[in-house]
Structure 1
Amino acid sequence: MRVVAKFGGTSLGSGDRIERAADSIAKAVSEGNEIAVVASAMGNTTDELLDNITFEADEQDRAEIVSMGERTSVRLLKAALTARGINAVFLEPGDPDWPVVANDRGEVDVEESERRARELAEKLDDTVPVITGFLAEDHEGKITTLGRGGSDTTAVMLGRYMSADEVVIVTDVEGVMTGDPNVVEGARNVGEITVDELRNLSFRGAEVVAPSALSYKDEDLDVRVIHYQHGDLLAGGTNIEGQFEYMVDMREEPLSCLTVAGRAIRNQPGILAKLSTALYESEINVDAVASGMDSVTYYVDNERAEDAETILHDQIIGDQTLSSVTVIDDIAVIRVLGAELPNQPGIMREIVDPIADAHINVVDIITSATSVAVFVDWSDREETLEIIQEHFEG
């Protein structure tokens, strides 16, 4: 049996937990299974590293810094496995066998990542690779990250590309529960749950597996969630069944759209990093960013719009290449997620045409390798959601 096991930050949060993780891996290997391991940063290491970036740092430096959490985890776990007589190696960006590759847009290069993952799978008969989750490497060798839930994404993606039988997510919950055990008496583990059910729970706060990771799951790949205290990688927990091609989600709170205009912004090195860092240092979360030749647009929570406008205006005053900032409040975003969605010919027309036919103005569209985000006026959100759901989920 070929298994990709992902250990979350909590499951690697101390020396004892690393020992427990190594024991479960060694047990699975001793039973004749091929195991690849994906490791998150220990505990809250990533947040702690980010908190220590109190200076202006560009995206490349930030990625290098936060990568140290995962880099430390894989070394500790590899050493624990070696101490148990397991032939293990740790893999991180820069290694010749590193499998997760990003393109020049910072998105997963599916063809190259799949090729490298297949090559890595051929070595599983005598080696346990311990792979840094959350990280990717572009074609120039620079580190980038996979975003929120990136270690889950690494695990499920590699499980698919390595033709694994199962991906096991080891976390701090015993799979999916019938209710919050801290609130309701008698809460118990749900033995099975569908991808659709789980994604609906995830978008309402009960995130067990990152929704972005589930886009890589297909019918042939089993995904299971177990508690780090369980001890047996190959049994128990909650099985996640099925697959989805498209997932439609609407953000529950309104956004504000802040557009910074300036002369040839796209050709000004460091402008985007400067503006983004200023927002980050004020703890303003950016939901999405769009850029053009003469503008950069940030979408932030409505309640932080005034703060964001002031911060961006301060940056404009200090930079002669920037001219003004404008704000539009009460914007809704509806996202369609699916594997390689924007790479499908005609997909944008399938999304936009029925919205236009309903005489709804589209404020903006932002795409990535696996999603399309449609921004409309808050008053049009329900009708837009219904139109998109009817097409993709109907």
Structure 2
Amino acid sequence: MPDTKQTLVMKFGGTSVGSVDALIKVTQIIKEARARYPRVVVITSAMSGVTDLLLKCATLATQGNVESLPSAESTLREKHFSAADTLIQNAKLRESTKGEINCLIESLVDLCKAIAVLGEASPRALDAVASLGERMSVRLLGAVVESAGVRMKAIESSEFVVTNSHFQSANPDFQATTERTRQCLNPLFEAGLVAVTTGFIGATPEGVITTLGRGGSDYSAGIIGSVLPADEVWIWTDVDGVMTADPRLVASARTLPEISYSEIAELAYYGAKVLHPKTIRPLVEAGIGLRICNTFNPSHPGTHLVSNGHSNGKASKGEQVIKAVTAIRKQKLVTIEGRGMLGVPGVAARAFGAVASTGTRVPLITQASSEQSICFAVPPNPQITYWMRCKEILPSSCPSAILTASGPRTRLPSSPQLGQVRAIHLAS
């Protein structure tokens, strides 16, 4: 087995590869990493805004609208071709890259026309559409990196990330993925090449493209890093690391130098956008370090994720430390209550079974110790709204948010800051 200290996996988000200036920074980061690590895997997201545009095309196609496709084609070509024209110096490499990207854009048109004929988009079809962003991006980034003098091989992760057929939120088969990943990537390392691959996508054993869910490029990094295995995984984004709060809402938010895996898992689940929640588990199980860095401020050390209980923010005896606060906004609070619930088995199961049938995720649940009420939060999606209307359920009339305070031995503090909160409907 190769020395894992020689292997680095880096994932770059959509904003990190979303413009010419960003791609220049990414290329420099890759060159510096290659000078330190003999085995480097680069995972790329789609260019910023591309996945949304692709899925919008599919949505319009379900309504029979294909008139907007020429505009989408033009936008995609302009976004990718302008970067290629600026950054790929070799004319042959530039034209071949643009040709491959153009073929993928044409496949979008074919897919959307097929969707329009059917009048619906299956999860499988949506994955085929959504995957095109990363498939275009990997060709562009690979060529840009090669043009900068780094020997590389661009390869789609669908060749080695094996998943089930749960389209739009596929789960990897780690055993098959381990075998395929090593078979595909080790020869590249032995040849002295940087492997540039797609995030977000995998494929069934039969080769049908799947996606890991929105934001799944982080998860790709966790999967690939764990099966190689890598020494470290670095997630490059557009912030300096994990912040104590959303800087758009809290001006005094600062970067945490360290945070435990359990803390970041909780923050990711409760709304922090810095990391996909599923990224963490494979890395924890493999004992692999994770760092979150800023593409646009690469000299900043970022946030280092450490084993649970080893973060330097541990609370001292008698002290309550809140390391970070997150918010899931625009939630509806639903309370089911009544004396007839007391001691009646199965009430919660029936309630949440009904909610689950709408495909709605329930991020917060609490039940009174008297068993006379159950309260839960749901996002205001059309399915759950329709279900509540049919059942004549009236959610809380005021807009709600789930605030989560994370840290060692955290409890709801007695703090002047809570006076700034308009109303606390539920504390757990």
Q: Please report the TM-score for the alignment, with normalisation by the length of structure 1.
A: 0.62
- Give deviations 1:199-248, integer Å, cap 9, x for gaps: 2222332231111111112262010000111336xx7110011269xxxx
Q: 1:183 to 1:109 in 2, by over 3 A?
A: closer
Matches within 5 A, 1:65-214: 65-92=129-156, 98-104=159-165, 106-122=170-186, 123-125=188-190, 126-214=192-280
Rounded to whole Å, the distance in 2 between the matches of 1:258 and 1:183 is 31
Partner of 2:13: 8
**RMSD of aligned alpha carbons:** 3.5
1:240 pairs with 294, 301, 305, which one? 305
Q: Matched residue of 2:179: which SS?
A: helix
Compute the displacement of 1:21 (Å). Answer: 0.6
Q: 1:41 to 1:329 in 2, by over 3 A?
A: farther
Q: Is the 8 A contact 1:285 1:301 kept in 2?
A: no
Partner of 1:220: 287
Q: Matched residue of 1:190: which SS?
A: coil
Q: Is the 8 A contact 1:302 1:330 kept in 2?
A: no
Rounded to whole Å, the distance in 1 between the matches of 2:211 and 2:297 is 29
Partner of 1:335: none
Rounded to whole Å, the distance in 2 between the matches of 1:154 and 1:128 is 17
Q: Once the two structures are aligned, what percentage of the paired residues are identical?
A: 32
Partner of 1:49: 54
The structure with the largest alpha-carbon Rg is 2
Letter in 2 for 1:242: S
Compute the displacement of 1:186 (Å). Answer: 4.8
Compute the displacement of 1:61 (Å). Answer: 1.6
Rounded to whole Å, the distance in 2 between the matches of 1:143 and 1:124 is 25
- Give deviations 1:330-371, integer Å, cap 9, x for gaps: 99xxxxxxxxxxxxxxxxxxxxxxxxxxxxxxxxxxxxxxxx
Rounded to whole Å, the distance in 2 between the matches of 1:15 and 1:130 is 18
Rounded to whole Å, the distance in 2 between the matches of 1:194 and 1:307 is 37
1:230 pairs with 267, 287, 297, which one? 297
Compute the displacement of 1:287 (Å). Answer: 3.7
Q: 1:73 to 1:196 in 2, by over 3 A?
A: same
Partner of 1:58: 122
Letter in 1 for 2:297: H
Letter in 1 for 2:42: V
Q: 1:253 to 1:208 in 2, by over 3 A?
A: farther
Compute the displacement of 1:66 (Å). Answer: 0.8
Rounded to whole Å, the distance in 1 between the matches of 2:37 and 2:174 is 30
Q: Please report the TM-score for the alignment, with normalisation by the length of structure 2.
A: 0.57
- Give deviations 1:282-316, integer Å, cap 9, x for gaps: xx97449xxxxxxxxxxx857745764699xxxxx
Rounded to whole Å, the distance in 2 between the matches of 1:193 and 1:222 is 12
Partner of 2:70: none
Partner of 2:354: 257
Structure whose residues are more often helix by fraction: 2
Rounded to whole Å, the distance in 1 between the matches of 2:272 and 2:249 is 14
Partner of 1:360: none
Letter in 2 for 1:240: L
Q: Is the 8 A contact 2:43 2:197 kept in 1?
A: yes
Rounded to whole Å, the distance in 1 between the matches of 2:176 and 2:239 is 34
Rounded to whole Å, the distance in 2 between the matches of 1:68 and 1:175 is 28
Structure whose residues are more often strand by fraction: 1
Q: Is the 8 A contact 2:185 2:195 kept in 1?
A: no
Letter in 2 for 1:25: I
Compute the displacement of 1:154 (Å). Answer: 0.4
Rounded to whole Å, the distance in 2 between the matches of 1:25 and 1:196 is 29
Which is worse superposed, 121-130 or 19-28? 121-130
Q: Is the 8 A contact 1:101 1:139 kept in 2?
A: yes
Q: Matched residue of 1:18: which SS?
A: helix
Q: Matched residue of 2:128: which SS?
A: helix
Compute the displacement of 1:33 (Å). Answer: 3.6
Q: Matched residue of 2:42: which SS?
A: strand
Rounded to whole Å, the distance in 2 between the matches of 1:188 and 1:301 is 28
Compute the displacement of 1:2 (Å). Answer: 1.1
Which is worse superposed, 44-53 or 195-204? 195-204
- Give deviations 1:89-116, integer Å, cap 9, x for gaps: 211156xxx2200135543111100112
Q: Matched residue of 2:298: which SS?
A: coil
Q: Is the 8 A contact 1:166 1:222 kept in 2?
A: yes
Q: 1:18 to 1:302 in 2, by over 3 A?
A: closer
Letter in 2 for 1:208: V
Q: Matched residue of 1:215: which SS?
A: helix
Q: 1:302 to 1:230 in 2, by over 3 A?
A: closer
Q: Matched residue of 2:282: which SS?
A: coil
Aligned residues: 277
Q: 1:81 to 1:186 in 2, by over 3 A?
A: same
